[in-house]
Structure 1
């Protein structure tokens, strides 16, 4: 019995350390999340203005060989396009729409999950 009590913390620590992420895995996961967030912001900007979306994509992934003059011209174009009130309002609406759509999908999944515990079929939305 004493051996079992002594071995339990060791096994528990081995189990927890096996499940932990390494720093490389954490960095890769963070980089993947950042890329996904950037791709989403470009896609939402593309709904409002394609040229501005291309500028945002270029900001996230700048060209390697770019002179200072080109950088200054890009910064000026970027500021002008992004600070446009029409684009800002459209972009804000696109983000709000995305957030509310995700929230509705989460509520729908929760509702369908709750219904399956009481009945073996999904709720019939076409019946109403």
Structure 2
């Protein structure tokens, strides 16, 4: 009886692990650019997925930066005023189209030209939809 329970638990964990690894694979349309440089996809890899990232100092110190672009319908990037990807009232911005009915190469862009406050944002996180 205990062996049967252990086997069932092992199968459940294996299935969960399989689902998690499948979700982490992105297709070639999923890309994020900051100041025209790829930070996810397009040769940059997927290393930043689901991890908090800080903007480079030149982007934080320049009120006209960053210009961000999120492509694909399977990811979104959330940008935060505070470091460490912490929300602060309404001071966060989600960029990306989590709508699989749209073209797979759909892109959305955002910059301080859209909202001057964005030039003071300090961190971001890219996540799957």
Report the TM-score, using the length of structure 2 for normalisation: 0.28
Report the TM-score, using the length of structure 1 for normalisation: 0.28
Which structure is higher in helix share? 1
Q: Which has the larger radius of gyration?
A: 1
Which structure is higher in strand share? 2
Bigger RCO (CA 8 Å, 6+ sep): 2
